[in-house]
Amino acid sequence: MAQSIADRRDQDFLLHEVFNVAELSKHEIFQDFNKKTIDMVVTEARNLAIKEILPTQQDGDQNGCVLKDGQVSTPESYHRAYKLFCEGEWVALCDAPEYGGQGMPKVLSMAAAELFSGANCSFLMYPGLTHGAGKLVEEFGTEEQKKKYLKNLYTGKWAGTMCLTESQAGSDVGALTTSAKKNQDGTYSITGNKIFISSGDHDLTENIIHPVLARIEGAPAGTKGISLFLVPKYRINEDGSSGHRNDVDCTGIEEKMGLHGNSTASLAFGSRGDCIGELLGEENKGMKAMFVMMNEARLGTGLQGFGFATASYINAVNYARERIQGTDLMKMFDKDPQSVAIIKHPDVRRQLISMKAHVEGMRSLIYYVGHLFDKARVAEEGKKKEKYKGLIELLTPVLKAYCTDRSFEVCTQGIQVYGGYGYIQEYPQEQLLRDCKITSIYEGTNGIQAMDLLGRKLGMNKGKPFMDLLGEMQQTIAGAKEIKSLEGMSSMVEKAVNRLGEVAMHMGMNAMSEKVLDAFAMAHPFLDVTGDVCMAWFELWRAVVAAGKIEKAKKKDLPFYQGQIKTAQYFITYVLPATLGRMDALQSNITAIMEFPEEAFA
């Protein structure tokens, strides 16, 4: 059975029928991206993903990366795929053409990234981190630094990483010990060790640029004293070419549960006393700069998790249609019952519609946030632009945490549909599950994302972004109420949205009172119900669009639109009531977690 990665029809539905992305072409900066161009980009991305990147997935998993004589080798198949990826200018899709970018809408870049990530996330991490490093240079670099680094990064000629984590400083970045000493020529000598560095060393490019967090000698303790430096693997000559080796060594690569095709490295900076870096941005402002990359990475991580889920779902659907096993329940007492495809069995259909509902809901959330970036770019300075930016900030921890948690669940169901075959390496499902797990851990664990939502984003700007989100949901509900067939579902979603507002106020007040620890003990469940209500909102929105299309739909499109209505019905009438129950629990002030005696944990 051939593997697949995503539902093109659903991608088109969101891009053209729900979000009407081609309307962005009315604005000068996106004038080249009409419907025809959007379709061409998705088609080309899909071709590259399926024909060139997907075949590297198993090779990356089985052969992995190898460290030998101080050099890391990536799986052989990655080299051709990387060359084609760079030739197609896929590294910097949304960025300025003058630096090697394509200047496309972010929502379109997310549609392409979904395909690439679903094909092989381990591979996509190499150019993905490269883009993140380039974004740092574009945002905080001097003109000289932009000239030196940016085009080489955005074209994929050089690679990039993100060097934050140390053995004693994971989520607590302020505890890092890597140091920087200023030299007479304005450069800095860097000394320290970093661990868990994705794409930390490899042989895909001629140079690797490491953005490194370090503390300048004499700087304040904690995050206030952290600065950001650019440390190349090979020093850069006056003419811009790569010169002799810098004092940056890969001391090991991790043996991981998944993502074997990506080199997760331990790096030693200055072990021979000769590691040279240059300051990026201002002294002691490194965390502010790094959050630019981290926020991009958090959205990217949510998309990574989703990529695994959508691939697992499509594989499961195709397998369920082809796998003949058991008889139709309605014919099991026939004299000679025939075996049927397992998609006929009620429990398999239950699993598939659950996978479908979450995959399509997550795709909607991801594309919606991408579209917010685009609308913010074309909006004039003022309330609209600030509204879009506020929604992006609010939804970033939800997208990262909810999508990665639910994607792991979808991948688990994807194995279950295959039965025993899902558990063995002959089929792709078990790898997708293993690879998916890290997405809920790195770039800020999902517990940290929940704390960010409750502690920072909920009360941001006096709660306006959260109220704006509820307002967006209410607009969809109002439209749904005008469609008779959706009246019942719209009422249920309205109830959930109103309850979410009440729960958010309750949680926010507790977080600022003597109940603060109890509130943060429930931060993750609060993020979870917020994500569920977002899913219900998008399912209803999709149903509104589909309901308006059914009457005049072509025969080939009718099942798709009918499926949208039924998917929404499943989620809103089955999943959402459980969400309402969990919201009741959140308002009951759960104290057992913090009152539990530590000694009783065994």
- Give every CB contact of residue 64 below 8 A, 6+ residues apart in sequence: 75, 260, 261
Average pLDDT value for residue range 96-104: 90
For the beta carbon of residue 450, count every other beta carbon within 10 angstroms: 23
Query: Which stretch, 79-88, 95-104, 287-296, has highest mean pLDDT?
Result: 79-88
What backbone torsions phi and psi does residue 535 show, to the nearest 5 degrees? -60, -45
pLDDT band at 468 (very low <50, low <70, confident <90, very high): very high
CATH domain 8-154 topology:
Butyryl-Coa Dehydrogenase, subunit A; domain 1 (1.10.540)
What backbone torsions phi and psi does residue 361 show, to the nearest 5 degrees? -65, -45
Could you give the dihedral angle defined by the CA atoms of residues 527, 533, 535 and 539, in that order, rounded to the nearest 10 degrees?
180
Residue 2 has pLDDT above 80, yes or no: no
So what's the pLDDT on residue 333? Answer: 82
CA-CA distance, 35 to 41, in Å (whole number)? 10
So what's the pLDDT on residue 41? Answer: 97
Query: Which stretch, 98-102, 217-221, 497-501, has highest mean pLDDT?
Result: 497-501
Per-residue tokens: 381: 């300075």
Q: Which of 405, 437, 388 is nearest to 527 (CA)?
A: 405
Residue 174 has pLDDT above 80, yes or no: no
Average pLDDT value for residue range 385-392: 96
CA-CA distance, 519 to 322, in Å (whole number)? 48
CATH domain 159-288 topology:
Butyryl-CoA Dehydrogenase, subunit A; domain 2 (2.40.110)
Would you call 443 a catalytic residue per the annotation?
Answer: yes
Per-residue tokens: 63: 């052969």
Contact 350, 413 (CB under 8 A): no
Residue 563 has pLDDT above 80, yes or no: yes
Contact 520, 454 (CB under 8 A): yes
Residue 521 has pLDDT above 60, yes or no: yes
Percent of the chain past pLDDT 90, that is, above it, reads 88
pLDDT, one tens digit per residue, over 341-366 is 999 999 999 999 999 999 999 999 99
CA-CA distance, 545 to 467, in Å (whole number)? 24
Residue 507 has pLDDT above 80, yes or no: yes
Tracing tokens 């977080």 back to the chain, one arrives at 511
Average pLDDT value for residue range 231-250: 93
More confident site: 172 or 242: 242
CA 326 remoteness from chain centre? 38
Per-residue tokens: 235: 């020093």
Q: Which of 140, 125, 191 is nearest to 443 (CA)?
A: 125
Average pLDDT value for residue range 320-338: 88
Which residue among 443, 502, 595, 598 is the active-site one?
A: 443
CA distances from 381 to 385, 451, 471, 472 (A): 6, 30, 21, 20
Residue 102 has pLDDT above 90, yes or no: yes
CA-CA distance, 410 to 431, in Å (whole number)? 13
Strands 264-269 and 188-198: antiparallel
Contact 228, 293 (CB under 8 A): no
Tracing tokens 């049927």 back to the chain, one arrives at 340
Taking the whole predicted model, whether its pTM rises above 0.75 is answered as yes
Strands 179-182 and 208-216: parallel
What backbone torsions phi and psi does residue 276 show, to the nearest 5 degrees? -110, 130
So what's the pLDDT on residue 1? Answer: 56
Arithmetic mean of pLDDT over the chain:
94
Per-residue tokens: 380: 């004039």
